[in-house]
Amino acid sequence: KRDPLVLFMPSGKRGRFPVGTPVLDAARQLGVYVESVCGGRATCGRCQVSVQEGHFAKHGITSANDHLSPLGPKEERYDRVRGLPEGRRLSCSTQILGDLVIDVPQDTVINAQVVRKAADERVFDRNPAIRMCYVEVEEPDMEKPLGDLDRLKAALAAEWHLDDLDVDFHLIPKMQQILRKGEWKVTAAIHKDRDDDRARLVALYPGLKNEAYGIACDIGSTTIAMHLSSLLSGRTVASAGTSNPQIRFGEDLMSRVSYVMMNPDGREAMTLAVREALNGLIDKVCADGGVSRTDILDSVFVGNPIMHHLFLGIDPTELGGAPFALAVSGAVKVKSSEIGLPMNEGTRTYLLPCIAGHVGADAAAATLSEGPHRQEEMMLLVDIGTNAEIVLGNSTRVVAASSPTGPAFEGAEISSGQRAAPGAIERIRIDAETLEPRFRVIGVEPWSDEPGFADAAAATGITGICGSAIIEVIAEMYLAGLISEDGVVDGAMAERSTRILQNGRTFSYLVHDGEQRITVTQNDVRAIQLAKAALYAGVKLLMDKQGVDHVDRIGLAGAFGTFIDPKYAMVLGLIPDCDLGRVKSVGNAAGTGARMCLLNRGYRREIEETVRRIEKIETALEPKFQEHFVYAMALPNKVDAFPHLAS
């Protein structure tokens, strides 16, 4: 007779195991991650699984119960004291008796405070860099002159197979007290960045410590976003964001590099500013999540190269000019206390690798999140900021570059441009007949027949146009025939509408005439043309390198990508032609990549290896860039066709 077949969901991993095998052991053997802190003593409750009876029916088995051992005394005690939710079992204490489909819940929250589900919560396979290992240590004995640490190590080796363990020195002076306080029962926090790394003891707690937390953070040049997650359940318990205080030293990246070059203390001031903001955010997520700062044992950070360098206290001047040399391109692993982020003394910080001098750890994290390197299709990933970071590839080959788009897409250099804030126009439509605009304004109740669009004449309190709407208004002007393919605002249209205003030799379009006059000028159109031509030329260069004339999928990352309407991006020729249904905003993909690395160390290895493989293209050195740029100044492009716009 064959051994029972066990299938684990959601991973789908399966295998046959002899009758009597604990479910936890079967999971381990198949590489299915199931948390266990108490080492199978049925006290931590972290190893819970549930049995999917529905699947049994499908497999022709009607009852699950006789395929699983009944509740034993240890599990019964746990149920009595802590309560096992309906349908849940402790996998350490449950044996396989027959064929089974086991569901590994992704929300095994035991001691939990109230857990808030983050809006963009995605479920990842878990395998955090920190593991909590409860052990019972042999008491000191005159006969055996072994030190406390050595007996602790022996217990960890025997129960958790942690041979050859490194130990953080800060623990050694405290160890005697912790062991005695816990009456020789302690929980060890073991850190390993990669499966093949040596294990290291980084924190030690008396008794059973059934929780550990980690933070994942995206340091953007404008905003910083942080998530606090339970490393044992994977749930995000709190999220917070703040604006990057370095803005007071310079709006965009290059002005911050200039600040460092001009001011002897500039680098220190900006490092201090970002670390202060991060410490504030750590306090905030801890307060919101009801978590003590010292319970954070791991942290992952991403950012563009300049943010990355300033955060680590590295002078970014070299990134300000060719050859744009990074001080360090590989992943950085450091004790958090060494970079001004005191949490637990043993807390570690991991920074994802940077791809190139202008393509940072944020682009690496976005790549990890969207996975162009994991698919057959040719995927374009674009993160638009002051610099556009561009990644193009598939499982065979990935290339990356950055393009100097300048701040126009963010509303800077645009006469009526502003940040997305109340009073900013965020959506706009122009009637091709009457040339009258309708728009939606942030913070203003929408009214009009078409939901979300205001009647321009009646709107009040309008202060400007935000970045995503600038793309839209210029695309709408082009579609309404107000702008030529060369980007010239057509003065002849003044005959048809009083909204066409003359300023010397050029013309502009009056969007709104209220307390503030909001116009789109010829210079505005030019600024957007220059920015979009730089972006498109960078993309084309990468397409040349890949030898492709179209892309299968496009992911638009970052705040800008979230709000931009793909159709308008294509009307203006920011991005190459693509099936519009396959152009997606991927939200804060960099933040997602950081969370993946926090919750599963396997992703750290994956991105380190992927970044090593990515071919870095320096747009400034490519003779074709200029040619692509010139063609891309036209709307949508002088030479490239956009068949998907017609359909």
Binding site for ligand FES (CB under 6 A): 36-38, 40, 42-47, 90, 92
DSSP 127: B
- Which stretch of DSSP H or E encloses residue 301? strand 296-303
Query: Closest approach of Cβ 19 to ligand FES, in Å?
Result: 20
**390 backbone dihedrals φ, ψ, rounded to 5°:** -125, 130
Whichever of 43 and 619 has its CB closer to ligand FES, that residue is 43
Rg (CA), the chain: 29
Indicate the residue type of 190: I
What are the beta bridge partners of residue 616? 400
Query: Closest approach of Cβ 54 to ligand FES, in Å?
Result: 25
Taking alpha carbons only, the member of 496, 515, 504, 640 closest to residue 573 is 640
Query: Closest approach of Cβ 47 to ligand FES, in Å?
Result: 3
Query: Closest approach of Cβ 66 to ligand FES, in Å?
Result: 22
Which residue do the tokens 């992952």 mark?
Answer: 300
Instruction: Give the Cα separation of 170 and 294 in Å (integer).
Output: 14
Please count the CA atoms within 13 angstroms of the CA of 542 that sit on its side-chain side.
32
Query: Closest approach of Cβ 74 to ligand FES, in Å?
Result: 8
DSSP 76: H
Query: Closest approach of Cβ 79 to ligand FES, in Å?
Result: 11
Nearest 5°: the CA angle 371, 377, 379 is 55
- Which stretch of DSSP H or E encloses residue 30? helix 23-30
Query: Closest approach of Cβ 46 to ligand FES, in Å?
Result: 5
Query: Closest approach of Cβ 39 to ligand FES, in Å?
Result: 6
Whichever of 60 and 73 has its CB closer to ligand FES, that residue is 73
Whichever of 96 and 454 has its CB closer to ligand FES, that residue is 96
Indicate the residue type of 43: T
Indicate the residue type of 350: Y
Whichever of 38 and 379 has its CB closer to ligand FES, that residue is 38
Whichever of 46 and 209 has its CB closer to ligand FES, that residue is 46
Instruction: Give the Cα separation of 434 and 432 in Å (integer).
Output: 6
Query: Closest approach of Cβ 24 to ligand FES, in Å?
Result: 6
Query: Closest approach of Cβ 92 to ligand FES, in Å?
Result: 3
Query: Closest approach of Cβ 42 to ligand FES, in Å?
Result: 5
Indicate the residue type of 117: K
Whichever of 134 and 563 has its CB closer to ligand FES, that residue is 134
What are the beta bridge partners of residue 418? 466
| Lookup: tokens for 359 | 């393509």
Indicate the residue type of 245: P
Quickly list H helices, 547-601.
558-563, 566-571, 589-599
Whichever of 37 and 278 has its CB closer to ligand FES, that residue is 37
Residue 430, C-beta contacts closer than 8 angstroms, at least 6 positions apart? 436, 437, 473, 476, 477, 479, 480, 482
Whichever of 78 and 409 has its CB closer to ligand FES, that residue is 78
Whichever of 231 and 559 has its CB closer to ligand FES, that residue is 231
Residue 16, C-beta contacts closer than 8 angstroms, at least 6 positions apart? 2, 3, 4, 5, 6
Whichever of 22 and 587 has its CB closer to ligand FES, that residue is 22
Whichever of 232 and 597 has its CB closer to ligand FES, that residue is 232
| Lookup: tokens for 209 | 């410590």
Structural contact between residues 557 and 586, judged by C-beta atoms closer than 8 angstroms: yes
